[in-house]
Amino acid sequence: MVKGAEAVHAANPNVLVILSGLNFDTDLSFINRPVNLTFKGKLVFEVHRYGFTDGQAWVDRNPNEECAKVTKSVKETSGFLLDQGWPLFVSEFGGDLRGTNVNDNRYLNCFMALLADLDLDWAYWSLVGSYYLREGVVGMEEFYGLLSWDWTQVRSTTFLNRITALQNPFRGPSIIKGNPYKLIFHPLTGLCVINKPLLNTTTLTLGPCSSSDGWTYTPQKTLLVNNSNFCIRADKEGKPATLSMACSDSNSKWEIISDSNMHLSSKLTDSSNVCLDVDDNNIIVTNACKCLSKDNKCDPASQWFKLIDSGRRSISTTSTLSMLNSPHLSDHLWKPLSSI
């Protein structure tokens, strides 16, 4: 590894040098001391992760429990490098974008929360919708690909919008100005809870994370609109959560529960517990907490919310992934298979 890094540096001293891990690049835990190189300031570590990395565990186990296991594994085998000040790059992740692969769907919901939480840089596998030749098959379709088989349209605009939300950093030097705050990130949609009332009501909705003014999660476990006295409050099961200035009772306290640490639960006045959820119109509601443990048949993704550190951006950025939604997509790409 050291010899390879030195060879890359010798060939071009102006490029970053990326070091990979073991076990299909999922494990960097063997790096328990600094790598001794003749150069500094350009070393990056990379890691890969897929749903199939853990076999069919996402189908066989409760999603909250599996998410906790995978999150712990990633942090122990590669995430520790962040604590040591090293750049860490997820150079491969992805899933079946047809939407029918339960194992991949559950994995992506969890892994996108982890990407947001650690604010990791990443590369998605893959852009291409098909291959000229792969494994002896002409025109083999790539179901993980962002593009359709003929490369003329996006395979899943829903997923494209989700990962577009992660393309810009949530924090970091020269990125954020002023005091940091929390975002309430919803990995199933790639959106955040927006604290600007809908149609002049106190109803909350999902929207672009850049549209949120941020939240403060207090020691009393209330979720306050940043720099205000308004908090998120539960009313009744099946009803919208609201903004309120009544922030001292149990209805306005939100416990982070479940192994995934992504259920936000509140106790109502009748002593029943509800969790934040999202309805079909992206309105934030409260429902009975679901799939907390053991059951592997249900999916808790609509109730997964991750509190992530962020702040107001000091620079204006535009996602290059938005180009894929262009009506002239084919103008940006190589010649599709259908034209050869």
Determine the residue type at 262. Answer: M
164 lies in the same domain as 194: no
Is 299 strand, coil or helix? coil
282 lies in the same domain as 182: yes
pLDDT digits (tens, 9 = 90+) for 31-72: 877 788 999 999 999 999 999 999 999 999 999 999 999 999
122 lies in the same domain as 239: no
Determine the residue type at 15. Answer: V
Q: What is the CATH classification number for the domain harbouring 68?
A: 3.20.20.80
Q: What is the mean pLDDT of the chain?
A: 91
C-alpha–C-alpha distance, residues 203 and 232, integer Å: 10
Place of tokens 């890969």: 48
163 lies in the same domain as 135: yes
Domain tally, the chain: 2
Domain membership of residue 118 as a residue range: 2-172+323-339
Closest CA to 184 of 30, 314, 310: 310
79 lies in the same domain as 92: yes
Q: How many helices (H) and strands (E) does the chain have?
A: 6, 18
184 lies in the same domain as 299: yes
58 lies in the same domain as 152: yes
| Statement: residue 235 has pLDDT above 70 | yes
Query: How far is the CA of 107 from the CAs of 61, 104, 275, 287, in angstroms?
Result: 12, 5, 21, 23
268 lies in the same domain as 333: no
Continuous segment of H or E residues that includes residue 274: strand 273-278
251 lies in the same domain as 120: no
C-alpha–C-alpha distance, residues 8 and 57, integer Å: 38
Global pTM value: 0.92
pLDDT band at 201 (very low <50, low <70, confident <90, very high): low
Identify the pLDDT of residue 330: 59
132 lies in the same domain as 227: no
